[in-house]
Amino acid sequence: MIINEIIIIIVFFSLAILLNYQIRTNVASLQVGAYVLFMLAVFGYFMYTLFRPDNNVVYHVALIVGMIGDFLGLSLLLVLLFYSYKKWHQSGHTFANMVLSGMIIFYVVLNVSIYLPQWLPSDIWQLRGVISWLALFVLWQFLRFFITSIIYGFVIKRPEIGPLVVLGGGLVDGYFVGRIVSQRIKAAVKDANQMTPYPMIVFSGGQGEDELVSEAQAMRDYAVKELHVPIEKTMLEDQSRNTFENIRNSSEMLHTPFTFYSSDYHILRGATLAQQQKVTANGRGGKSPFPYRIIAFLREFSGVMNIKKKAQIIWGSLLFFVAVAVVTIVFR
């Protein structure tokens, strides 16, 4: 018994060392969230071996957790479907986005089918095990994303030097920055005010179809008039249409590492897109209202999954075939 507990402790601290290494080398990697989840699982098993609760209680707790996980996984699949379809529609109907959307529709239909009347063929009911695996996989991916986002926000500290880049967002009445974007600007200016010399601040954002000025121009006007930022310490990048272009265009303008500022829920996706383009940039977040942050995290989860959509297709397909094989063997 003691040997078993010692092994568990060794595994736990080994994971802690790996987590620390991952944070120091690349805190934007979803492996950060994976190590935290593994540590929680090991800790849970350690508590089980320590207190030895009744197996019947453990079974019912596991059953309830599994049902909740299945429901949450299905909900996340629907979120992925919605935002993947929007991405597919906006990106010119690319093949990878079409395949990902098609897979999600297939999984959702199968998941819903297991709740239909029991006169359906028995083969349909055997799919319950397959779908549970898939739903829990999506939940696993979301938890990795969520935990990594939280840790990233705590780890990245105020930069010592500039330049700083503020990412744009939709304008109010076509002219003015809204509450969400103003928090991004305030976060950047707060950091800039503590630097000597005062850093260059780039405002990045193009002009949308429903906007009367570029987002970059509106943000600079706000920063200069409301926050007293020296106009000679500002630059405009007014051609970007999305976060990918914000990062790319700002990097091409500055030719040096920088810190970008966006909303707290959006930072991890920005950092991931920077790494995808081999741009050296860290992100800092402006605070957003809590209720809005919940919805935004779901959207950002879909965005991060779509950045590496081919990997999601491969892993989703592999998991599906493995689950089918397992269920087939069990019900044979």
- Same-domain status, 164 and 256: yes
Boundaries of domain holding 9: 1-52
Total domains in the fold of the chain: 3
Judge contact between 111 and 304, C-beta under 8 A.
Answer: no
- Same-domain status, 133 and 182: no
- Same-domain status, 148 and 168: no
As beta bridge partners, residue 15 has: none
Neighbours of 102 (CB within 10 A): 14
Give the Cα separation of 111 and 108 in Å (integer).
Answer: 5
pTM, to two decimals: 0.78
Give the Cα separation of 72 and 74 in Å (integer).
Answer: 5
Measured between alpha carbons, how far apart are the two ends of the chain, in Å? 37
- Same-domain status, 320 and 226: no
Nearest to 266 by CA among 167, 164, 140: 167
Is residue 296 in a domain?
Answer: no
Please give the chain's pLDDT, 332 residues, in tens.
577 788 888 999 999 999 999 999 999 998 999 999 999 989 988 887 877 777 777 666 766 766 666 666 666 666 666 655 555 555 554 554 555 555 556 555 655 555 555 545 555 555 556 666 677 777 888 889 989 999 998 899 899 998 999 998 888 888 888 888 999 999 999 999 999 899 999 999 998 888 888 999 999 999 999 999 999 999 999 999 889 999 999 999 999 999 999 988 889 999 999 999 999 999 998 888 777 777 788 788 877 877 776 777 777 777 777 767 766 666 55
CA 38 centroid distance within chain: 19
- Same-domain status, 317 and 278: no
- Same-domain status, 178 and 275: yes
Is residue 294 in a domain?
Answer: no
Is residue 150 in a domain?
Answer: yes
- Same-domain status, 146 and 176: no
Judge contact between 81 and 57, C-beta under 8 A.
Answer: no
- Same-domain status, 115 and 170: no
CATH code, domain with 236: 3.40.50.620
Is residue 301 in a domain?
Answer: no
